[in-house]
Amino acid sequence: MSAEIIDGKALAATFRGQIAEEVSQLKNEKNIIPHLTAVLVGDDPASAVYVRNKQRACEKAGIQSTLKRLPAETSEAELISIVESLNADPGVHGILVQLPLPGHIKETAILDVVNPLKDVDAFHPENVGLIVQGRPRYLPCTPYGIQQMILSTKMETAGKHAVILGRSEIVGKPMAMLLIQRGLGADATVTICHSRTQNLNKIVKTADIIIAAIGKPEFVTAEMVKPGAIVIDVGINRVDDRLVGDVDFEGVKEVASAITPVPGGVGPMTIAMLLKNTLTAARIQSDSN
């Protein structure tokens, strides 16, 4: 039997519609328009597309968005000073520094400076710590989107085995935290696999939920998947002008019970959750004034 296709584009559109309504309410009730500032350093074409899509999504939801575009030669000290000026600007509710940054800039040196209340990516150590403790202020956009996609399948996840492929700071590690949390996430039992994991295929085969985020085109094949598993594909790989995920979609959809496509899966949900966090940021900051 072929899997349910989890349509990230459609789900994201539903979220964006709800967020737009809440943005309009906030404006009517408190005269506050959420404002996101994105910082893009350098000329990475994919990053430029993602930031443009984020700005468009903001506009459609009634969220104000500003782009600070900086040359690739921008120094770490200059970037820190720009982030500090955004921290100090009461008109900016959310700050997003698009990753990756050019190699000469240490990402943690920048992310650590973002005011945690404005950190709509949830990359600041204070926000990461709050997630680990199960009392999040914001959830990082990609894991948040994935959580909502898994919820949309209405499948029981408590006590199920979730296997995450990839230990990145922005997907693998926070995803594990969300999946194990009681209430917050899926109440699942979680394994993180990475490049040094032994018997990886064997471990993946035991998974009820697979999150593939390793950046290897079509790495997860049908033989690796337990029948009935939920398969979430975070990969975005360009192969011969084609966009493919980390999962062999055509093969795996015949084994899984639910699967996300690429494109049109996790990506659009990442952007929808950014809007949600920006709205939350505006609310938090208006309540603290």
User: Residues 6 or more apart from 225 whose CB is under 8 A from it?
Assistant: 204, 205, 207, 210, 231, 252, 255, 256
Euclidean distance between CA atoms 160 and 207, whole angstroms: 8
Shortest CA distance to 219 belongs to which of 249, 255, 243, 190?
A: 249
Active site residue 121: yes
Place of tokens 């898994």: 150
- CA dist list (Å): 142 to 120, 211, 233: 12, 11, 11
Backbone angles phi, psi at 261, to 5 degrees: -85, 165
| Cβ distance to ligand LMY7XDAE smaller for residue 7 or 187 | 7
119, 121, 233, 248: the active-site residue? 121
Residue 68 in contact with residue 82, Cβ under 8 Å?
Answer: yes
Q: Is 144 in the site for ligand LMY7XDAE (CB under 6 A)?
A: no
Query: Which residue, 102 or 264, is less far from ligand LMY7XDAE as judged by CB?
Result: 264
Beta carbon of residue 141, minimum distance to ligand LMY7XDAE (angstroms, whole number): 4
* Residue 59 CA: distances (Å) to CA of 16, 21, 54, 145: 11, 13, 9, 20
**Minimum separation from the CB atom of position 227 to ligand LMY7XDAE (A):** 26
Least separation in angstroms between CB 201 and ligand LMY7XDAE:
26
45-53 contacts, C-beta under 8 A, 24 or more apart: 46/236, 47/98, 47/99, 47/100, 50/98, 50/271, 51/98, 53/271
Q: Which is nearer to ligand LMY7XDAE, 142 or 148 (CB)?
A: 142
Among 36, 41, 50, 280, the residue binding ligand LMY7XDAE under the rule CB under 6 A is: 50
Residue 168 in marked binding region: yes
Residue 243 touches ligand LMY7XDAE, criterion: CB under 6 A:
yes
Residue 233 · residue 249 · CB < 8 Å? yes
Nearer to ligand LMY7XDAE by C-beta: 122 or 163? 122
Q: Is 280 in the site for ligand LMY7XDAE (CB under 6 A)?
A: no
Q: Does 233 bind ligand LMY7XDAE (CB under 6 A)?
A: no
Instruction: Give the residue at shortest CB distance from ligand LMY7XDAE.
Output: 267
Rule CB under 6 A: is residue 142 a binding residue for ligand LMY7XDAE? yes
State the amino acid at position 203 in one-letter form.
I
Backbone phi and psi for residue 65, each to the nearest 5 degrees, phi listed first? -135, 145
Q: Does 83 bind ligand LMY7XDAE (CB under 6 A)?
A: no
Is 166 assigned to a binding site?
Answer: yes
Other beta carbons within 10 Å of 184: 16
Residues engaged in binding ligand LMY7XDAE (CB under 6 A): 46, 49-50, 96-99, 121, 141-142, 170, 236, 243, 262-265, 267-268, 270-271
Query: Would you name the residues annotated as active-site residues?
Result: 54, 98, 121
Binding-site sequence positions for NADP(+): 166-168, 236
